[in-house]
Homo-oligomer: A and B are copies of this chain.
Amino acid sequence: MMKKSRLTTDKHARRSPCPVACSLDIIGDRWTLLIVRDLYFGRSRFKELVASPEKPPTNILTDRLNRLVAHGIAEKIASNDGTKHLAYKLTEKGFALAPILEQVRDWGLEWIPGTEAKIGERSA
């Protein structure tokens, strides 16, 4: 049985109707936006996502991908290498997170010493 996720957007379980609170119930953790970042930059296979510099634990990665799909932020697609491996891509709802990613990136670059954005990544 899959562990019940702590995060929910069940309307009756919402903490409030505040859009910030409801959004954080979906994306408010240390990993979700990093996975969105990787999907945004074109990683799609589980093995690509698990190879991310932050080394997401596989159980967390699996949980977050399932939640992204459940919330319509990502969708499962056929792998483009002809194998039966699953892959993921962002939906329109997922791509709409790009401005949040940009602002989080910019705040980090401005206020956290030693951070650096990669050159040549997909322009947001």
A positions within 8 Å CB-CB of B: 7, 9, 11, 14-31, 33-34, 37, 53-55, 93, 96-97, 99-118
Q: In the complex, what residues of B have CB within 8 A of residue A33's CB?
A: 20, 24, 28
Question: Other CB < 8 Å A-B pairs besides A17-B114, A18-B115, A19-B107, 7 of them?
Answer: A11-B113, A19-B104, A19-B115, A20-B104, A23-B112, A25-B30, A28-B28
Cross-chain contact B30 with A28 (CB below 8 angstroms): yes
Q: In the complex, what residues of B have CB within 8 A of residue A107's CB?
A: 19, 23, 96-97, 99-100
Chain A interface SS verdict (over half) = helix
Cross-chain contact A15 with B55 (CB below 8 angstroms): yes
**CA gap between A113 and B93 in the complex, in Å:** 13
